[in-house]
Structure 1
Amino acid sequence: MEAAIDRIMQTYDLLMNRTAAASAEARAKVTSYVTTLFEAGERDPHRLTVCGLTYLRELDGSSDPVKAGYTGL
């Protein structure tokens, strides 16, 4: 689980330009989220990594389909 969290943060830090405080806050949130997934039975580190990155991108709004131009038409 720790390896997945480290990988999530390394990748996310490459995508986003944030302060150390924002990075620490993101790490705390994703750790809680990944822990929940792990306790629910997810053990694949690659899947945990993808889920964690998706979670962080949803939190910061960078995966908003409307902002990306998808109108549903």
Structure 2
Amino acid sequence: MEAVIDRIMMTYDLLMNRTAAASAEARARVTDYLTKLMEAGEKDTHRLTVCGLTYLRELDGSSDPVKAGFTGL
């Protein structure tokens, strides 16, 4: 699981310019989230990576389609 978290954080740090404290908090949150997914039965490391990145982007609001300019019109 540590390799998956390292991959998520490396990719996320490339996408976002964050402080060390914010990165540490994001790492703790994604670790808790992935633990829940693994306890629920998910074992695919690629799927866990995508889920972790999606989770972090949802937390910081960077995956909000309205903020990105998609209004549906």
TM-score, normalization by structure 2: 0.95
Distance 2:39 2:3 in 1: 16
Distance 1:46 1:65 in 2: 24
Within 5 Å, which residues of 2 pair with 1:8-19?
A: 8-19=8-19
Partner of 2:5: 5
Matched, 1:55 2:51: no
Distance 1:53 1:34 in 2: 11
CA RMSD between the two structures: 0.7
The amino acid that maps onto 2:11 is T
Distance 1:11 1:19 in 2: 15
Deviation at 1:59, TM superposition (A): 0.3
Partner of 1:46: 46
Deviation at 1:35, TM superposition (A): 0.5
Following TM superposition, the consecutive aligned residue runs of length 4 or more in structure 1 with deviations greater than 6 angstroms are: none
TM-score, normalization by structure 1: 0.95
The amino acid that maps onto 2:37 is L
Structure 1 unmatched runs, 5+ = none
Distance 1:2 1:39 in 2: 15
Structure 2 unmatched runs, 5+ = none
Deviation at 1:72, TM superposition (A): 2.4
